[in-house]
Structure 1
Amino acid sequence: MVFQDFLPSPALREYVSIFRLVHFTFGAADSIPFKPYPPRAEQYLAFYPRDTEAVHYPGRHEKIANTRSALVGQHDVVTDRYIGKDFLVFQVVFQAGALFRLTGVPAHELNNTYMDAEAIFGNSIKEVNARLTSTDRYEEMTVLIENFLLQQIRRSKMERHAIDGVAHQIVKTNSLTSLDALANTACLSSRQFERKFMERMGVTPKYFSRIARFAEAYRIKNSYPDKDWLSIALQCGYYDYQ
């Protein structure tokens, strides 16, 4: 079993927050339960060099399955994930605003989506998928994925915006100051700030902050299952419990 978060090479850190590698293998007779996947304040690209996963959204009958690489937008719903006997996923978790810079696709168009990445990146990612399936070495997978990302960065013509830094701070601190203060930081009016924030993050600043705070509370509970929810809520800034 492998569950590892690690930093990308320095050349990628303006665009990539973290690499997340997960590899589970199960016996033929093992029954594998689905895993609820809660929303996080992030957008990511996922590669599946072995068995893929099936994703079920609430209120939908069908599952999304057999995607060798997936582009996952900002979510605000819990999805159920079903995996195979040899499950390996290599996630590229983007820095705030980086996916918009790389693709030019407004982030709100990707909200609650799990789409085949080949529809966006075409043959270049199709080739990466093929090469990933032919290696068992995590280090080689990392090199293949980093080279692909560097290629996409060289093609990108969009600069980092002040809003990206604001969103990064929201995720880092799990808090939100006044909209006017944030807009001033980005040198925009409140209306312009909210519109451009949605274009780059997919949701409003306030909602983005709520997702980030919820994700942090969920992470703490996973890490410290014996910790009570009230303590976690207070630690994460949930004070209105009357």
Structure 2
Amino acid sequence: MFYRKYVPALHLRPYVECFYVWECSEILTTQLPIESPPNGFASMVFNYGNPYRVVSQKLNGGIAPKTFLTGQATKSYHLHLSGKIGMVGIVFRPAGLCSLFGLPMYEFSDERINLRDVLGKNIDELYDKIEEAASCDERIVLLEQFLNFQFLRKIPTPDAIDYAANLIVDEKGIFNINELIDEVCMSRRQLERKFLQKVGVSPKYYARIRRVGFLCNVLAQQGWQIKDWQDLIYQSGYYDQSHFIKEFTEFMGKNPSFYVKNNSELARYLK
């Protein structure tokens, strides 16, 4: 299994977290189930492998389009893959899709929307080039060229919502809403309205998504090697163990111990 991230060019970094490639040299003869927590990032995905199914609170085992846009995931979701795995994608900073494409992100939360329906039939030409490319690096170049063209069309400038959302990401979801309001010089109502438009959820809910997503990544990588759970819970912004377990179970549908037991290899596959 091969999963690699690529850092975007400097001018794209306020809007793009990374590009990625996910491939497998072998054909999977049995189904591979992958569970992913909500991670706080929207994405565009181009699948040149076999179709796969998605199970979430909105998508009950449906086939993902070969090119799709996904907004904020508000709960965990499952991918069921088999056959050939091959896909590339763009992972956007929380407000990046709206800043670059002007999309109302509240319409895309927990969805996988066919990119052709959002950006038009020209996306088919990009998909064909990605499918025919000779290497992973060539596919990433195609994605970056696609974004560069959109960047030059839009000439975006990061605004207060980009700043606020990126700050929540950088602080791993641990922030004070009143301090954030003062820092961006907005009323609470104005911040929430613009944040919903550009990110897809409210600032407080987004912070909860980011916090549990970051923590799941730590658990997937370290699992039972974690020596001081109390310190991890505290450093992740939870009041106490019961608060942590309640919050984790709400987003993941299972308690932390069960998650660690069954997801120790998650970090290999998904961000």
TM-score for the superposition, normalised by structure 1: 0.90
- For residues 1-242 of structure 1, the aligned pairs below 5 Å read 1-27=1-27, 30-58=29-57, 61-65=60-64, 67-156=65-154, 158-228=156-226, 229-241=229-241
- Counterpart of 1:31, as a letter, is T
- CA 1:133–1:121 in 2, change beyond 3 Å: closer, same or farther? same
Sort the Cα spacing of 1:48 and 1:27 in 2 relative to 1 into closer, same or farther, 3 A.
Answer: closer
Deviates more, 1:96-105 or 1:135-144: 96-105
The 3 A distance-change label for structure 1 pair 19 and 114 is same
C-alpha separation between the residues in 2 aligned to 1:9 and 1:84? Answer: 33
SS of the residue 1:211 aligns to? helix
| Counterpart Cα distance in 2 of 1:153 and 1:138 | 23
Q: CA deviation at 1:185?
A: 1.4
Letter in 2 for 1:113: E
Structure 1 residue ranges without an equivalent (≥5): none
Identity of aligned residues (%): 26
Which string of whole-angstrom CA distances, capped at 9 and with x for unpartnered residues, describes residues 58-104 of structure 1? Answer: 36545133x22110100112221122321112121112311112232
Q: Deviations over 1:18-71 (max 9, x none)?
A: 11221124346x312321221111111111122233212236545133x22110
Q: Which amino acid aligns with 2:154?
A: S
The more displaced of 136-145 and 172-181 is 172-181
CA distance in 1, matches of 2:235, 2:191: 29
- The CA distance in 2 between the partners of 1:93 and 1:25, in whole Å, is 23
**In the alignment, residue 167 of structure 1 is paired with which amino acid?**
A
2:153 and 2:132 map into 1 onto residues whose CA distance is 27
Distance 1:61 1:13 in 2: 34
Contact 1:24 1:86 in 2 (8 A): yes
Q: Return the TM-score normalized by structure 2.
A: 0.81
For residues 94-139 of structure 1, the C-alpha deviation after alignment (integer angstroms, 9 at most, x for no partner) is 1231111223221111111111111111133211101111123011
Q: Which runs of 5+ in 2 are unaligned?
A: 243-271
Opposite residue 232 of structure 2, the aligned amino acid is I
| 1:49 aligned partner, one-letter code | Y
Q: Which residue of 1 aligns with 2:264?
A: none
Match of 2:223, SS state, is coil
Q: Which has the higher helix share?
A: 2
Cα distance, 1:157–1:90 mapped onto 2, change above 3 Å: same
CA distance in 1 between counterparts of 2:181 and 2:234 reads: 27
Residues 27 and 85, structure 2, Cα contact 8 Å, conserved in 1 = no
Deviates more, 1:105-114 or 1:52-61: 52-61
User: How many residues were matched structurally?
Assistant: 240
Deviations 1:137-159 (A, max 9, x none): 01110111111111122222653
Deviations 1:146-180, CA, capped at 9 Å, x for gaps = 11111122222653211211111111112443323
Change (3 A) 1:119 1:160: same
